Amino acid sequence: MFANYLIGLREGLEAALVVSILIAYLVKTGRREALLPVWTGVGIAVAISLAFGATLQFGSRQLTFEAQELLGGSLSIIAVGLVTWMVFWMRRTARHLKAELHGKLDEALAIGTGALVLTAFLAVGREGLETALFIWAAVDATGNGTDPLIGAVLGLLTAVALGWLFYTGAVRINLATFFTWTGGALIVVAAGVLAYGFHDLQEAEFLPGLSTKAFDISEQIPPDSWYGTLLKGTVNFQPDPTVLQVVMWTLYLVPVLVLYFRPSPGKQPPAPAPAPASASAAGQEATAAG
């Protein structure tokens, strides 16, 4: 549940921040007539995201077991790719997100109502579709449709509340720091989803090696124990993964975390300040000058 709460919180907060920035800008510049097109775009984005999630959930039930596993594995890998791109993008743009949105909104206002609807739709729709896909992949990985959805809904509700507080000015946090550390946590979650995606492809007989286990610690960490359930729900831990799962988990997690947390190339450590001249040296210079 916590992993999906984190997904809902992070993705929902991105969308909530975007909406609050757009609305605050329109209100402060006296363009309240443009609020309706913005809310229309937001509503369309939410509706399409919900329809997309429902299609994934109920449409896959009509498939054979092998087809379900093939679909689940493929979409899990796609979801990991999208989330990875998203966390890197937000880490890079969080500092100047407000200015970027203001520029896009000014362009949309100059074009007309349709452009406003499209701007709001694109700003929110990307997060909505990513959230629907990633949560569906998490549901497929855990085999439990209730807890992931509850966690995601709680995360989204928290994001909406925080978005409102940001809009009213009641909350001030360092967004760059927030998105950096939640992005790192999401990379760990995504690694588990990726590993289970490859497990699905093995169950679909699309990839070999389903019976080749890397290790089996089911006795030490029973899947039905409270700590086994906790690990499964947070990082998609599996006590008996295949060799392919462990390899793909490692090949994804290690380099992605290293790249994610490395210092930005443009940031150089500040140069040390020059040492102040000593009193005796200053006195000598004054004597020489005299």
Separation between Cα atoms, residue 77 and residue 196, nearest integer Å? 9
Is residue 282 situated within a structural domain? Answer: no
Q: Give me the pLDDT at residue 285, please.
A: 44
Residue 44 lies in a domain: yes
Distance of alpha carbon 183 from alpha carbon 90, whole angstroms: 9
> Which long-range CB contacts under 8 A does 257-264 form with residues at least 24 apart?
257/184, 257/187, 257/188, 260/87, 260/88, 260/91, 260/183, 260/184, 260/187, 261/184
pLDDT at residue 251 tops 90: yes
Q: Is residue 62 part of a domain?
A: yes
Residue 213, SS3?
strand
Mean pLDDT of 7-25: 79
For residue 54, being part of any structural domain is answered with yes
203 contacts 71 by C-beta, under 8 angstroms: no
Structural domain of residue 165, as residue ranges? 2-263
Report pLDDT digits (tens) over 214-236.
999 988 888 778 777 767 766 77
Distances (CA, A) of 260 to 44, 84, 183, 195: 33, 10, 9, 19
- Here the tokens at position 200 are 């699905």
Instruction: Compute the average pLDDT of residues 94-115.
Output: 72
- The CA distances from residue 246 to 93, 120, 206, in Å, are 32, 40, 18
Q: Could you tell me if residue 122 is inside a domain?
A: yes
Residue 286 lies in a domain: no
pLDDT band at 170 (very low <50, low <70, confident <90, very high): low
User: What is this structure's pTM?
Assistant: 0.69
Classify residue 41: in a domain, yes or no: yes
When pLDDT is averaged across residues 71-85 and rounded to a whole number, the result is 85
Total number of domains in the chain:
1
Residues 6 or more apart whose CB falls under 8 angstroms from that of 257 comprise 184, 187, 188
The share of the chain scoring above pLDDT 90, in percent, equals: 12
Q: Give the C-alpha separation, 138 to 79, whole Å.
A: 10
Q: One-letter amino acid identity for 36? A: L
List the structure tokens of 199: 């497990």
Buried b (16+ CB within 10 A) or exposed e, 46-71: eebbeebbeebbeebeeeeeeebbbb
Contacts of 19 (CB under 8 A, 6+ apart): 38, 42, 120, 123, 124, 163
pLDDT at 210 over 70: yes
- Could you give the maximum distance between any two Cα atoms of the chain, in Å? 97
In a domain, 36, yes or no: yes
CA geometry: angle at 214 spanning 64 and 253, to 5°?
Answer: 85
Whole-number Å distance between alpha carbons of 83 and 89? 10
Distance CA 157, CA 167 (A): 15
